[in-house]
Structure 1
Amino acid sequence: MSRHDYFSQFLHAVWHGESGHPLVASLLAQPAFAVYRNTIFKGCVDALSANYPAVRRLVGEQWFQGAALAYARRHMPDDACLIAYGDGFPDFLDSVDAVRELPYLPGVARLDRYWSESHLAADDAPLDTAGLHAVLASGRDVQLAPQAATRWHWEPAYPGYSIWNANRDPGAGPLSGLEWHGEGALLTRPEGQVQWQPIGLGACRFLDACRAGMGVAAAAGLAQAAEPGLDVAVMLGELVQAGAFTSFH
Structure 2
Amino acid sequence: MNAPESRYHDAFLQALLSGHSDDPEIGALLAQPAFAIYRNTVFKGCVDALLANYPAVHRLVGRAWMESAALEFARHHLPRQASLIAYGEGFAEFLGTLEAARALPYLPGIALLDRCWTESHLAADQPVLAGAALHTALAEGRDVTLVPHAACRWHHDGQHPVYTIWNANRNEEDATELAPQWCGEGALLTRPHGQVQWQALGPGGCRFLDACRDGCAIASAADQALTHEPGLDLALLLGQLVLAGAFTSFY
**Which bracket does the TM-score occupy, shorter chain normalised?**
over 0.9
- Residue 37 of structure 2 corresponds to 35
Q: What are the superposed Cα offsets for residues 148-172 of structure 1, whole Å, 9 maximum, x if unpaired?
A: 1100000000000010111103454
Q: What are the superposed Cα offsets for residues 43-89 of structure 1, whole Å, 9 maximum, x if unpaired?
A: 01011111000000000000000000000011111101111111011
Return the alpha-carbon distance in structure 1 between the equivalents of residues 173 and 34 of structure 2. Answer: 44
C-alpha displacement of 1:2: 4.4
Aligned length: 249
The answer as to 2:66 corresponding to 1:64 is: yes
Match of 2:198 among 196, 199, 210: 196
Return the alpha-carbon distance in structure 1 between the equivalents of residues 75 and 179 of structure 2. Answer: 39
Return the alpha-carbon distance in structure 2 between the equivalents of residues 177 and 28 of structure 1. Answer: 52
Return the alpha-carbon distance in structure 1 between the equivalents of residues 117 and 30 of structure 2. Answer: 38
Contact 2:165 2:178 in 1 (8 A): no
Contact 2:189 2:197 in 1 (8 A): yes
- Residue 112 of structure 1 corresponds to 114
Match of 2:78 among 50, 63, 76: 76
Q: Which amino acid aligns with 1:120?
A: L
Contact 1:163 1:175 in 2 (8 A): no
Return the alpha-carbon distance in structure 2 between the equivalents of residues 122 and 100 of structure 1. Answer: 36
Return the alpha-carbon distance in structure 2 between the equivalents of residues 8 and 212 of structure 1. Answer: 37
Unpaired runs of 5+ residues, structure 2, are: none
Q: Which amino acid aligns with 2:33?
A: P
Return the alpha-carbon distance in structure 2 between the equivalents of residues 210 and 149 of structure 1. Answer: 14
Q: What are the superposed Cα offsets for residues 5-55 of structure 1, whole Å, 9 maximum, x if unpaired?
A: 433322221122111111211221223321211111000101111100000
C-alpha displacement of 1:242: 0.3
Return the alpha-carbon distance in structure 2 between the equivalents of residues 176 and 79 of structure 1. Answer: 38
Q: CA RMSD in A?
A: 1.4
Q: Which amino acid aligns with 1:217?
A: A
- Residue 26 of structure 1 corresponds to 28
Q: Which amino acid aligns with 1:168?
A: R
Identity %: 59
Return the alpha-carbon distance in structure 2 between the equivalents of residues 119 and 165 of structure 1. Answer: 16
Mean CA deviation greater in 24-33 or 68-77:
24-33
Provide TM-score, normalisation by structure 1. Answer: 0.96
Unpaired runs of 5+ residues, structure 1, are: none
C-alpha displacement of 1:174: 1.6
Q: What are the superposed Cα offsets for residues 102-154 of structure 1, whole Å, 9 maximum, x if unpaired?
A: 00000000000010000111111221221100111122110000001100000
